[in-house]
Amino acid sequence: MSKLKKWCILVWMILISFTLNAQLKTITGVLKQETDGSPIVGATIRIKGTNIVTTSDEKGFFSLQATSPNFILLISSVGYEEKEVPVLESRAPKFIQLKPKTTSIEDIVVIGYGKVDRRKLTGSVGTLKPNLVGNNPISMDKILQGRIAGVFVQPSSGAPGAASSITIRGVTTLSDAGNAPLIVIDGVPMYGQDRNTNSTNYSSSSQPASFTQPITANNYRPNNQFERNPLANINPDDIESIEVLKDAYATSIYGSRGAAGVILITTKKGMLGKARVNVNFSTVAQNAFRLPELMTGDQYAQFYSDYFDTLNARRPTAGWPPPNRAFKKGFNTDWLDLINRTGIGYNLSTSISGGTDKTRYFISGGYDKESSYIVNNDFERFQGRINVESNLSNSIKIGVSTAISATLNNSLNAQRAYYDAVIKAPNIPVFDSVGLYAWRAVVSPTNIINGSAPLRDINPVGTINTGKNHVNDLRSISNVFAELKLASWLTYRLDFGVDWYNTKAYSREIDKQGTLRGSATESNINNFKTVINNLLNFNKRFGDHTFNGVVGQSFEKSKESATTITATNFMDNRVLSIISASNRSITNALSQEWTLVSFLARLDYGYKDKYLIGITNRVDGSSRFSTNNRYVSFPSISAGWVLSKEKFLKNIQWINELKLRGSWGLTGTDGGAGYYGSLGQYSFTTTGTTYAGTTIISATRPANPDLKWQQTTNVDFGLDAGLFQNTVRVSAEYYKRTTKNLLVNGGLPGFVGFTSQQQNIGEMVNRGFELTITSRNIEKKDFSWTSSFNIARNENIITKLNFANKLDASLAAERSGGRFWTEGGSATAFNLMYWGGVDAATGNPLWIGSNDTVSMVPFEILYAGTSRDYNSHRRNMGDALPKFFGGFDNRFRYKNFEFSFFMTFAVGNKIFNGAKASMYAYSSVDAPNLSKDVLNSWRKPGDITDMPALINRSNTAFTPGGSTAQFQDFTLGRNSSRFLEDGSFLRLRNLTVAYNFGEKLLKRARIDGGSIKVFAEANNLFLITKYTGIDPEISAYGSSVLQSGYDEITMPNPRTFRVGFKIGL
């Protein structure tokens, strides 16, 4: 018997001898698992109605002293169903079998710096244990989609390895960087969603896509940028559970980083017992969900010839457009078809785990390949993990969880090729007369008169075949810990964690007209984060009073460095090294550090397990903030009442568990304020500008010593219930998150030297409810059906924006990548000019003003040169985020067959169909290919159509005059409601069929407890939506939730089919 156990029993015996009389009788037994008979370790065995309790040892053995001969043993253990065993005249059964829980609801929930029994949880935590019938999605953000109420995951595009935005309970702040949740993997806060860090710019000359005023299609250019998904480095097969912390009780302990929610990832650990081997292999085929329908080459040529003829006839200026209108017929290149394919990918994952009473291990390795539906654009991942825990002695445990992954993302060109294939003129062959890629499209007359360089280089086939554009990540997220048991109720834990994240990106444009002799950009990013936690965990029961919690301290340090070099004028297309270019420059050389020092505590108190109180606090000090406001405290308090333990509910059979809970607390964010948010900053220019030979340092950010942490007050009320023998579990909650000191870029009068500054000038409210129902509908020997449903509603309102000049600030925000914010509106609202359709009499678009006045001329033109502002006619036309969203999962088992389907939905979200706007952009200088809808334009009075006359009073190509202003097409503006559509959808995300056939086979081979399963699954099989684009579940601006709701010919999510097998031995 181990020393610890001896000691325990000694103490216990002393205690008992004080409190009880001498009529003691030793009861012993062995706990075994019902299915394979393996011992159950660490189960709690209690004599019902007393405090006599013990735990089972490594062999499942337990013994305790009973005071009376007749009693009931209450046995509980994590992962097993509770069991009551009656003991008559001190005769207990020798073996007691426990049944493993079949539902996904388990009792232990991981929370910040500890674990808690779900039945005693007073906060709001959503748990997901990835356990699909088929294969896990390739990255964990996709696993979360639709699974947990209140967690809204939106992928940016269908390109492999592209980022997603994850929003928990709505928008938290009005700056991009602050809306992503903190992600903590095995105690290590990892580098998460940060658009700037994760974006790779692959053209040194590219301007980021931005909104200008007026926003017309003519000047819309997509970003030459790829935002990779930092979560793609994690192997989903290694994940034991994902916990989403939502309310104050759960998030306040993450203090200054908790405001946008926290996601805790716990990886699999070794279990006691013989080595278990798991092998999964599957292969997947990926297709475009649907492709845009465009004009053929002949239709295109015909359309543009007619259009310019009409324009020529209508235009008063002689000689315009010029006669050179070479829209030739004869070639019909289907660019989309040429770059499209069925991408074949693979997934291989293996793991081995097991352990003895001393050491437990989990080792895994895997390889994934995702091939996009664009030719030559693939994503590969290699990963390995070792999780080991070892008891050095009875009181000391050490362990390590370490993972290494390498991702090679070769699909950075996918989005660009897809975009280019849509807009590229179809009347041009892929190759020109000398056999080189035809990079240039037709020479459009608008282009000539515009005096600008003829065209951009566009040739999607050339791009995918010649472009070298990849980003490679090497990442290790590891944690080493040691635990010292100071007393039976007190444990000290030391954690040392690392997130080591190396990225190298390279992109190359080959020698072509626009980039003579080629250009390249290469960047290296090196991020290194360490975290040290000192934690004292306690867990103590005094009679009816239970105390548990943690007191600790954490120190986190992050070092980030990046260099970017660009080069032009290469010797040869074949030589990739930048050293072979004659023109080289360093555009970025950055090295920075920040630290966070924190003190944290949590106390959970329970009286009779019925009345529960939780108190947490965290004090954070950050190097990013000024000394005056450096340390901030984030407290929370919560309470729970387990009604089901009250007498008045005890007799109601169908209510097994019922708990009411509520919490209040504070969380914060620096709103992505970045480094030295409070101090004035002086920077060098990226181009190395000098004046008269002296390097320039200029003031780039104004000081604001009063800058404070943005603070969110969270209130949450929840109800958790287990009904009908816990076959139905319901969780419902209402929350309200009130944010003050909202960090926003506020305007300054220019005479002070700066025009804007980050200030604490706003307030915002998020409120909503969440409902989750999981039920085991049917549970028979041969047939079972379980389902799980969740729905959430969030409403976001900016209650105060202390802008001195609201219009100016809203416009500035919109231009710099935010939105046209208004007080009383949502942070993701579409405030647009109201498009009133097409006037049947004249074919002109109708614009509806704020007081319902109708104008046939856009207000931008109407008010030009006056002091009136057309923006006063903007209206709130809806929200980019849904009113309701959620998921519905169903799982069936019939004998050896398994079947599951999973649907997700969103209701009430609007999406701006910028893809359509681009496919209507015949007035643009590039003469892009068009949607066939354009052929249905208004022609004669009386035509009822939503396509205005090609030449109308809203596209100023009609007005005579010179250069750029003439081609503004207000019908295509991103600030008009013309292309705003309902993006509500219902999607069949996954459908899986599986067959388990291994049992008999394995038994014959004398292997116990193994399984062999084959499965076939389809993802994204169908989509029900009113959206006229292809996929409403994308976002042209990457992980930015503030800019969500734009489809700018963004690659739709693919449809995939997968077959594979899983072997467990």
Q: Which is nearer to other proteins, 13 or 589 (CB)?
A: 589
The reply on whether position 630 binds other proteins by CB under 8 A is: yes
Q: Which is nearer to other proteins, 573 or 959 (CB)?
A: 959
Residue 55's closest CA among 69, 34, 70, 76? 76
The reply on whether position 651 binds other proteins by CB under 8 A is: no
Count of CB atoms situated within 10 Å of the CB of 833: 26
Q: Which is nearer to other proteins, 44 or 595 (CB)?
A: 595
- Interacting residues with other proteins between 1016 and 1055 (CB under 8 A): none
Selected from 623, 656, 945, 1028, the binder of other proteins by CB under 8 A is 623
The reply on whether position 866 binds other proteins by CB under 8 A is: yes
- Interacting residues with other proteins between 873 and 902 (CB under 8 A): none
Selected from 609, 795, 869, 982, the binder of other proteins by CB under 8 A is 869
Question: Could you give the dihedral angle defined by the CA atoms of residues 818, 823, 829 and 834, in that order, rounded to the nearest 10 degrees?
Answer: -110
Selected from 324, 591, 633, 850, the binder of other proteins by CB under 8 A is 591
> Which DSSP category does 148 fall into?
S
The pairs formed by 780-784 with CB atoms below 8 angstroms and a separation of 24 or more are 782/894, 782/895, 783/892, 783/893, 783/894, 783/895, 784/102, 784/892, 784/893
Query: Which range binds other proteins by CB under 8 A, 125-133, 228-236, 373-381, 674-682?
Result: 674-682
Residue 200 Cβ, how far from other proteins at the closest point, in Å?
Answer: 19
Residue 1013's closest CA among 1031, 998, 992? 998
Collect all residues with Cβ–Cβ distance below 8 Å to 599 and sequence separation of at least 6.
552, 553, 554, 618, 619
Q: Which is nearer to other proteins, 281 or 594 (CB)?
A: 594
Q: What mask, x for binding other proteins by CB under 8 A, covers residues 787 to 806?
A: -----------------xx-
Instruction: Give the interface size with other proteins as a residue count (CB under 8 A).
Output: 79
Burial class from Cβ neighbours inside 10 Å (0-12, 13-18, 19+) for residue 715 reads middle
The reply on whether position 319 binds other proteins by CB under 8 A is: no
The reply on whether position 322 binds other proteins by CB under 8 A is: no
- Interacting residues with other proteins between 85 and 104 (CB under 8 A): none
Per DSSP, the three-state class of 233 is helix
- Interacting residues with other proteins between 458 and 487 (CB under 8 A): 482, 484
3-state helix/strand/coil string of 193-208: CCHHHHEEECCCCCCC
The reply on whether position 1005 binds other proteins by CB under 8 A is: no
Residue 704 Cβ, how far from other proteins at the closest point, in Å?
Answer: 6
Rounded to whole angstroms, the Cα distance separating 296 from 591 reads: 51
Residue 474 Cβ, how far from other proteins at the closest point, in Å?
Answer: 23
Collect all residues with Cβ–Cβ distance below 8 Å to 280 and sequence separation of at least 6.
135, 237, 347, 348, 349, 350, 1060, 1061, 1062, 1063
Q: Which is nearer to other proteins, 4 or 765 (CB)?
A: 4
The reply on whether position 706 binds other proteins by CB under 8 A is: yes
Q: Which is nearer to other proteins, 413 or 533 (CB)?
A: 533
The reply on whether position 973 binds other proteins by CB under 8 A is: no
Rounded to whole angstroms, the Cα distance separating 995 from 1012 reads: 8
Q: Which is nearer to other proteins, 850 or 963 (CB)?
A: 963
Query: Which range binds other proteins by CB under 8 A, 321-329, 372-380, 731-739, 748-756?
Result: 748-756
Q: Which is nearer to other proteins, 702 or 817 (CB)?
A: 702
Question: Residue 451 corresponds to which tokens in the numbers above?
Answer: 């005096």
Count of CB atoms situated within 10 Å of the CB of 37: 12
Count of CB atoms situated within 10 Å of the CB of 706: 11
Residue 868 Cβ, how far from other proteins at the closest point, in Å?
Answer: 9
Supply the DSSP string of 690-739, one letter for each residue. EETTEEPEEEEE---TT---EEEEEEEEEEEEEETTTTEEEEEEEEEEEE
Residue 459 Cβ, how far from other proteins at the closest point, in Å?
Answer: 27
Selected from 692, 780, 942, 1004, the binder of other proteins by CB under 8 A is 692
Rounded to whole angstroms, the Cα distance separating 674 from 624 reads: 7
- Interacting residues with other proteins between 504 and 533 (CB under 8 A): 532
Q: Which is nearer to other proteins, 302 or 587 (CB)?
A: 587
The reply on whether position 451 binds other proteins by CB under 8 A is: yes
- Interacting residues with other proteins between 909 and 968 (CB under 8 A): 961-966
Selected from 500, 611, 675, 995, the binder of other proteins by CB under 8 A is 675
The reply on whether position 356 binds other proteins by CB under 8 A is: no
The reply on whether position 594 binds other proteins by CB under 8 A is: yes
The type of residue at 966 is Q
Q: Rounded to 5 degrees, what angle do the CA atoms 1062, 1064, 1065 make?
A: 150
Selected from 589, 778, 840, 1001, the binder of other proteins by CB under 8 A is 589
Query: Which range binds other proteins by CB under 8 A, 162-170, 329-337, 615-623, 988-996?
Result: 615-623
Rounded to whole angstroms, the Cα distance separating 289 from 2 reads: 61
Question: Residue 1063 corresponds to which tokens in the numbers above?
Answer: 């072997």
The reply on whether position 400 binds other proteins by CB under 8 A is: no
The reply on whether position 681 binds other proteins by CB under 8 A is: yes
Q: How far is CA 59 from CA 3, 37, 63, 96, 941, in A?
A: 16, 11, 12, 13, 89
